Amino acid sequence: MIQSLAITHENEVVTNFPIEDYQSLKFKWAWIDFNKPTEIEIQHLENTFKFHPLAIEDCIQRLQRPKLDYYDDYSFFVTHVLRSNLIKEEMNFFIGENYIVTFHMDDSFEVNHVWNQIIKRQTIKKWDEYAVFYHILDKIVDHYFPFIYSIEDKLSAIENNNEDKMDALLEDLFVARHALLNLRHTIDPMRDLLYRMLNSHHLEGIRKRKEYFGDIYDHLLKLSEMVSSNREITSDIRDSYISINSHQTNKVMRILTIITSIFAPLTFIAGIYGMNFLYMPELNWRFGYLFAIGLMIVVSIAMYSWFKRKGWF
Amino acid sequence: MIQSLAITHENEVVTNFPIEDYQSLKFKWAWIDFNKPTEIEIQHLENTFKFHPLAIEDCIQRLQRPKLDYYDDYSFFVTHVLRSNLIKEEMNFFIGENYIVTFHMDDSFEVNHVWNQIIKRQTIKKWDEYAVFYHILDKIVDHYFPFIYSIEDKLSAIENNNEDKMDALLEDLFVARHALLNLRHTIDPMRDLLYRMLNSHHLEGIRKRKEYFGDIYDHLLKLSEMVSSNREITSDIRDSYISINSHQTNKVMRILTIITSIFAPLTFIAGIYGMNFLYMPELNWRFGYLFAIGLMIVVSIAMYSWFKRKGWF
Amino acid sequence: MIQSLAITHENEVVTNFPIEDYQSLKFKWAWIDFNKPTEIEIQHLENTFKFHPLAIEDCIQRLQRPKLDYYDDYSFFVTHVLRSNLIKEEMNFFIGENYIVTFHMDDSFEVNHVWNQIIKRQTIKKWDEYAVFYHILDKIVDHYFPFIYSIEDKLSAIENNNEDKMDALLEDLFVARHALLNLRHTIDPMRDLLYRMLNSHHLEGIRKRKEYFGDIYDHLLKLSEMVSSNREITSDIRDSYISINSHQTNKVMRILTIITSIFAPLTFIAGIYGMNFLYMPELNWRFGYLFAIGLMIVVSIAMYSWFKRKGWF
Amino acid sequence: MIQSLAITHENEVVTNFPIEDYQSLKFKWAWIDFNKPTEIEIQHLENTFKFHPLAIEDCIQRLQRPKLDYYDDYSFFVTHVLRSNLIKEEMNFFIGENYIVTFHMDDSFEVNHVWNQIIKRQTIKKWDEYAVFYHILDKIVDHYFPFIYSIEDKLSAIENNNEDKMDALLEDLFVARHALLNLRHTIDPMRDLLYRMLNSHHLEGIRKRKEYFGDIYDHLLKLSEMVSSNREITSDIRDSYISINSHQTNKVMRILTIITSIFAPLTFIAGIYGMNFLYMPELNWRFGYLFAIGLMIVVSIAMYSWFKRKGWF
Amino acid sequence: MIQSLAITHENEVVTNFPIEDYQSLKFKWAWIDFNKPTEIEIQHLENTFKFHPLAIEDCIQRLQRPKLDYYDDYSFFVTHVLRSNLIKEEMNFFIGENYIVTFHMDDSFEVNHVWNQIIKRQTIKKWDEYAVFYHILDKIVDHYFPFIYSIEDKLSAIENNNEDKMDALLEDLFVARHALLNLRHTIDPMRDLLYRMLNSHHLEGIRKRKEYFGDIYDHLLKLSEMVSSNREITSDIRDSYISINSHQTNKVMRILTIITSIFAPLTFIAGIYGMNFLYMPELNWRFGYLFAIGLMIVVSIAMYSWFKRKGWF
Ligand SMILES: [Mg+2]
Ligand SMILES: [Mg+2]
Ligand SMILES: [Mg+2]
Ligand SMILES: [Mg+2]
Ligand SMILES: [Mg+2]
Ligand SMILES: [Mg+2]
Ligand SMILES: [Mg+2]
Ligand SMILES: [Mg+2]
Ligand SMILES: [Mg+2]
Ligand SMILES: [Mg+2]
Ligand SMILES: [Mg+2]
Ligand SMILES: [Mg+2]
Ligand SMILES: [Mg+2]
Ligand SMILES: [Mg+2]
Ligand SMILES: [Mg+2]
Ligand SMILES: [Mg+2]
Ligand SMILES: [Mg+2]
Ligand SMILES: [Mg+2]
Ligand SMILES: [Mg+2]
Ligand SMILES: [Mg+2]
Ligand SMILES: [Mg+2]
Ligand SMILES: [Mg+2]
Ligand SMILES: [Mg+2]
Ligand SMILES: [Mg+2]
Ligand SMILES: [Mg+2]
Ligand SMILES: [Mg+2]
Ligand SMILES: [Mg+2]
Ligand SMILES: [Mg+2]
Ligand SMILES: [Mg+2]
Ligand SMILES: [Mg+2]
Ligand SMILES: [Mg+2]
């Protein structure tokens, strides 16, 4: 679907004009939105707007890296939108002299939100193509935060775990790391893109709104820091878990060894006097039984002292 | 609460003047402090001082990253204050031609300290808006140190641990790492902020006090180094703990295996001659018992030599 | 084999002319392709084209790093082609005023593809030596992707593993890491090479096609990111696997210790009363058997409560 | 204690003149040394030399980071001296037009050495304040080496360890890592300080002795490399130790399992025929005993082949 | 030993002239080689060539880092040569207006090779002091490769290991890592040295041979990549080994636990009915033996199902 919207020099809003006329009608500025366009609609990019084939290719292909390309009469921006389950979608912008073209392959409430704001809004004078760009980008980046917050909540849950569900929690930890890695591959290129936009000499429209785009850049810096900090927390949790576990295994090993060490000789002695040889003098001793029990006590105490001296208690 | 303080050109201290007059009264310089301001008081930022909406938004929102934004007539600084339990609070500064506005959402003894110093002080001539900024910032950064010192003390305690409380110490280690990560996210951006302040061409007032702000930067460099060095120590302790533990598990395993290896065949032999078969020739031998005992001794010695040769003793 | 192809100023395609005439025949531009050249054919590089001995040496030696060298009249490019099983082959380019020389030691379908396109193609006017270079390079880089995709598929399979084939999967993980390391040593230098090409002041022909070579650079950036991200995933999988395993070992240890702890004393008691001493008062007690069983029950319950209190169930 | 030394324009050495006169006496150059100064002596820094309060504060406080501050008429250097047991001490330098002030809180044989050299020396013409600075700094850095050499020796000892003292060696390894971390926090800032000194445009006296201070920088580069290389060796040793240990635990586990697997069923069979039931037909068989022994042999062989097939031998 | 060689302006080779005359004899260029010089020969560096004492000190001391120092009339280069067993030796170069001095403390076949080439060679016109420098350096760096290749071979052997010699292979792995670390400390500074040489504005002789020294730089880049890549492979092998081992330990643990779990209760039951109490009703039951056997079978099946349900088979 292609939608069009323009502001005349008299600050009136015009919608749904034929997009071929976006130049000839001499608007103050115009916005054409490609929302899940058909193959035929996509051809407008080439035929009507004369965009470069490589830029059009980047629109059509899934998941280019966020980036900025300068062409003679327009700039081309690729940005990433995060949808539920961390699915990434692309939002592409072409910004020319007095127009902006947005191109996206899924419904974008960010676009709808800004579109409706313009149509309803009194203060139409303040808007132009860069204002549209800023407001959509601001919304896109604002919606990165809930994804990180949800991961942070899961990590807090894992930190406060109770033993029983350990396997599930380790699985959760792995999933969280995967999600953070995924997020980083959206957030870090977006951050670098904003940095380039802020420091570019070609983008006068962004220069004039430096504090606005700078505010988005602040958000991306913060997001990027949150991602790496949370990844460090996950590896801290895992390493800490491994050392606790190795400590517990060691403790359990000691108990096992102590028990085996004490009972193995005792059971062996009992076994000896359980043998059925005809001639076993001890069996007939008056205090043979007491002697055997005494021997066992001596062995136990010797073992016990040995471990005590080794510091295993 | 909003407090105001100003120095006239005659070097007299004026307090609690109506803040709307901070310009018209032609002070030498003025300081307006927003301490836990109400919603209505916050509106002064926009209406009285005409600060940019994005800067005001940064004031109101919790925990912006430390940063510096230049606006036409003033600069805007976000800094982090550490409160007990490593809670972070924001301290925001607007510094204009001859005024400073401080904005914070919790009671700040740093602000109070400097405020009282000015009111009591003889040498009022030396003060101006950047001196106020410096002294508050110096106090803020000075109060980062106790947090690191306390972590260093805990790490020393862990290094000198005794076995008994190992689980608690591993937990402490994890907590220390978490705290250090937290601290780093305050200290490193603060350090970068000071670096930018020192090297900025826009901040004449800081340039003139280069050695003072440079002293704060020194502190932040040192803090930053302490944080990363302590994080390395924690991971050293953990890795070292894991290798000691794995060594001990190995030692305990060997003892367990030796005991099992020696007593399993002995107990088995005793078991054999404990069987109740009617026809077991050995049972009736004159020296059957001695034979069995002899067999056991031979087996023990064989096992012992085997382990000796394997180097397990 | 040496092939030659040239476009005359009348835009006609000439093939298989004697390569010694590539300059004297005054073509618009010419392409000479060395495909698995013999020793004698290689001597043309020196005798006919007068290329620098060091550049020729780089052609002949296997697996130079991807790189770009400027000489007076031509530039020399080394690039890497990936063949099945991640075998690396070199593709070398010499680009001069109005000619391009390609040099490769294995059959290159990339070269054949472009060669055929030129011969068949109507739009012969648009082609020149840099267009040839671009189209071959584009094909080369496009064919890096399947190698990464296949690794990503293997990693997905490993993530969704089932216990039985664990050893094989760990082996696969190791192989995947090795392959990724291998890929990185092709992709990262290729990326740096494209970066240098795009930012060089010597390569006018690339400057004029900035968007085309920039598109290849985009691909390489994305590839480089995929490689490092997949390497991180492999180490995540391995670390996660180790912590799950150490957790399971710990659980199994506990069960083993519980069983040993409960049955060792019981079997010992049974052993005691299996001894054959003549004088063992308990054996003759009316309720001796019940007493022994009772003793065993008491010991079991004591052990059970002890472990319960230790939280091992 | 404050010592003073000066060279007149006639190249005569003057010592112990009143330090207030260091300027008025018109020396060629002068050196004033503060060795463990008292509070009252420290006041000379402010009153006599008019040094900046922040520089004086840095002198008095323990363990500033090595650094360099430019003031209007002098430069201020903080450097670290290593004393036995890796205790760090500060050595501070103020270098002005024709004087040098050294300030240190412990006895410095570096200072004494250079002091004596000047007093005894014929070639007094070659010395000036920067020569003093160079010679002290050279001595300071030369004395970093023995600390690293001693750590390298310990690491060699650990590499060639014999099993018996493993716990002590792991402790040594941890101590060595700690010491290296400690050293790095002296050496790396010192290296950066020298780099800044060599590349500074303010320090004409260092520029003229570029090869001399460059020689110290070489030493620091080498030291820095040795520290990081030795830290890598320690982590190599530890990781290697862990994998050897985990391999040994695995081997010991197998032996334990084999023994248990073979003797548990055998002992169980012996136990069966050790039961005292009145009616057990096998007990009365003529070859019951042989049957039992045969059964045991069959079970042993089955177990043995099973493990053989599993590849555990 | 000191050797001398010079080319006259008539392109004649002169050897073994007195080195004091290297300037006065007005050669086109001269080469003086110090091969394992005596103390007295070393004094020529100071007395005849007037080299700087610090450069001479660097010659005499063992193992300076590879580096480049500019002096007024000459440049001084320190490079590393690798001898068998990865022993490092220094090769020092002084290059002045029309002479080169080489200084080395061991026999250098690189020097001999180039020396002989010049003496035998027809094309004497092409040589000068920088050509000598290039050819020696080229040889030095070419001889780094065999050391890496030998390590790569060992790593391949380790990857294809068979279980039996695991301890030896882990030791080999550690040795390989050590060797790689060692190599890196030669190769990386050499690479940085070549980079500096190529980008220096002081070294006209190198600038004119940019492609030649650039070829050496290519080799060093490749070597540096090989070293880090091989170090990554070693840590991959080790980590992979640890996870396989931990998996195997886990498997062995399970088998041990299963055997213990099944036989411990069975042996206990047999122990019960092996007791010699006078009054044990079961012993006199007609089917007491069958009852005991039945009880054992029930317990075995219960255990078996329990483990089956836990998924341990
Ligand atoms: Mg797209
Ligand atoms: Mg926003
Ligand atoms: Mg916002
Ligand atoms: Mg930029
Ligand atoms: Mg903001
Ligand atoms: Mg956080
Ligand atoms: Mg705020
Ligand atoms: Mg302070
Ligand atoms: Mg202070
Ligand atoms: Mg900046
Ligand atoms: Mg700076
Ligand atoms: Mg200070
Ligand atoms: Mg410290
Ligand atoms: Mg080649
Ligand atoms: Mg492509
Ligand atoms: Mg393409
Ligand atoms: Mg460049
Ligand atoms: Mg593209
Ligand atoms: Mg991906
Ligand atoms: Mg101090
Ligand atoms: Mg020295
Ligand atoms: Mg020296
Ligand atoms: Mg510099
Ligand atoms: Mg030196
Ligand atoms: Mg070394
Ligand atoms: Mg030397
Ligand atoms: Mg070479
Ligand atoms: Mg060569
Ligand atoms: Mg350079
Ligand atoms: Mg080459
Ligand atoms: Mg290779």
Closest to A176 in 3D by CA, of A196, A191, A157, A162: A157
Average pLDDT in the C50-71 region?
Answer: 91
Q: Are the Cβ atoms of B214 and D69 closer than 8 angstroms?
A: yes
Confidence label for D244 from pLDDT (cuts 50, 70 and 90): confident
Confidence label for D57 from pLDDT (cuts 50, 70 and 90): very high
Is the pLDDT at B219 greater than 80, yes or no? Answer: yes
pLDDT tens digits along D124-154 = 788 889 999 999 999 999 999 999 999 998 8
Tokens of B265: 């065949």
- Give B71's contacts in chain A (Cβ within 8 Å): 211
Helix (H, G, I), strand (E, B) or coil at D228: helix
Q: Are the Cβ atoms of E170 and D275 closer than 8 angstroms?
A: no
Q: Are the Cβ atoms of C252 and E250 closer than 8 angstroms?
A: yes
Q: Which helix (H) or strand (E) covers residue C13, if one does?
A: strand C13-15
Residue with tokens 């004033």: D32
pLDDT of residue D67: 93
Gap from D79 CA to chain B (nearest CA, Å): 14
Q: Are the Cβ atoms of D286 and B279 closer than 8 angstroms?
A: yes
**In this structure, how many other beta carbons lie within 10 angstroms of the beta carbon of residue A154?**
18
Mutant choice from B160, B247, B282, B300 vs D, greatest count of D C-beta within 10 A: B247
What residues 171-200 of chain D have any CB closer than 8 A to a CB of chain B? 173-174, 177-178, 181, 185
Q: Are the Cβ atoms of C271 and E271 closer than 8 angstroms?
A: yes
CA E202, E206, E208, E211: dihedral to nearest 10 degrees? -140
Average pLDDT in the E246-257 region?
Answer: 85
Is the pLDDT at E164 greater than 60, yes or no? Answer: no
**Tens place of pLDDT per residue across chain A (313 aa):** 899 999 999 888 999 899 888 888 789 999 999 999 999 999 999 999 999 999 999 999 887 889 999 998 999 999 999 998 889 999 999 999 889 999 999 999 999 999 999 988 767 788 899 999 999 999 999 999 999 999 998 888 887 765 556 677 888 888 899 999 999 989 999 999 999 999 888 888 898 899 999 999 999 999 999 999 999 999 888 888 888 888 888 888 888 888 888 899 999 999 998 888 888 888 888 888 889 999 999 999 998 898 888 777 6
**SS percent in chain B: helix, strand, coil, step 5:** 65, 15, 20
- Residue B164 within any structural domain of the chain: no
The dihedral region occupied by A145, where left means phi > 0, alpha psi between -120 and 50, and beta the remainder, is: alpha
Pairs of CB atoms within 8 A across A/C: 124
Pairs of CB atoms within 8 A across C/E: 122
Helix (H, G, I), strand (E, B) or coil at A71: coil
Tokens of E44: 């020529």
Among A125, A151, A173, where does a domain finish?
Answer: A125
Among A87, A103, A125, where does a domain finish?
Answer: A125
Q: What is the CATH number of the domain that holds A273?
A: 1.20.58.340
Q: Which ligand is nearest to the CA of D194?
A: 23
- Residue E287 within any structural domain of the chain: yes
pLDDT of residue A164: 57
Return mean pLDDT, chain B.
89
The count of domains in chain B is: 2
- Residue B207 within any structural domain of the chain: no
Assess D260–B contact: CB distance below 8 Å, yes or no. yes
| Adjacent-strand bridge partners of C15 | C5
| DSSP character at residue A140 | H
**In this structure, how many other beta carbons lie within 10 angstroms of the beta carbon of residue C224?**
17
Among B125, B159, B186, where does a domain finish?
Answer: B125
**In this structure, how many other beta carbons lie within 10 angstroms of the beta carbon of residue A139?**
16
- Residue A280 within any structural domain of the chain: yes
Spatial distance between the Cα atoms of B133 and B213, rounded to a whole number of angstroms: 10
Q: Which residues have CB under 8 Å from B144's CB, separation 6+?
A: B82, B183, B186, B187, B219, B223
Which residues have their alpha-adjacent CB atom under 5 A from ion ligand 26? Answer: E 59, 61, 90
- Residue A83 within any structural domain of the chain: yes
pLDDT of residue D165: 67
Spatial distance between the Cα atoms of A82 and A87, rounded to a whole number of angstroms: 6
- Residue D84 within any structural domain of the chain: yes
Average pLDDT in the C152-161 region?
Answer: 83
Spatial distance between the Cα atoms of A241 and A42, rounded to a whole number of angstroms: 53
- Give A272's contacts in chain B (Cβ within 8 Å): 270, 293
Assess B218–D contact: CB distance below 8 Å, yes or no. yes
**In this structure, how many other beta carbons lie within 10 angstroms of the beta carbon of residue A263?**
24
Contact E104, E79 (CB under 8 A): no
pLDDT of residue B161: 67
- Residue D224 within any structural domain of the chain: no
Q: Which residue has the higher pLDDT, D93 or C238?
A: D93
- Residue B249 within any structural domain of the chain: no
Q: Are the Cβ atoms of B277 and D292 closer than 8 angstroms?
A: yes
Q: Which helix (H) or strand (E) covers residue C33, if one does?
A: strand C29-35
Gap from E24 CA to chain C (nearest CA, Å): 37
pLDDT of residue A29: 93
pLDDT of residue C97: 87
Tokens of E298: 């029930």
Q: Is D286 exposed, middle or buried (0-12, 13-18, 19+ CB in 10 A)?
A: exposed
pLDDT of residue C96: 92
| Adjacent-strand bridge partners of A81 | A89
Helix residue spans in A160-207 (DSSP H): 166-199, 204-207
pLDDT tens digits along C272-303 = 888 888 888 888 888 888 899 999 999 999 98
Confidence label for C162 from pLDDT (cuts 50, 70 and 90): low
Q: Which ligand is nearest to the CA of C203?
A: 17
Average pLDDT in the E145-152 region?
Answer: 93
Is the pLDDT at C161 greater than 70, yes or no? Answer: no
* Domain range enclosing E56: 1-125
Q: What is the CATH number of the domain that holds E81?
A: 3.30.460.20
Assess D258–B contact: CB distance below 8 Å, yes or no. no
Interface confidence, given as ipTM, is 0.81
Among chain D residues, the shortest Cα distance to B220 is held by D65
Average pLDDT in the B302-308 region?
Answer: 88
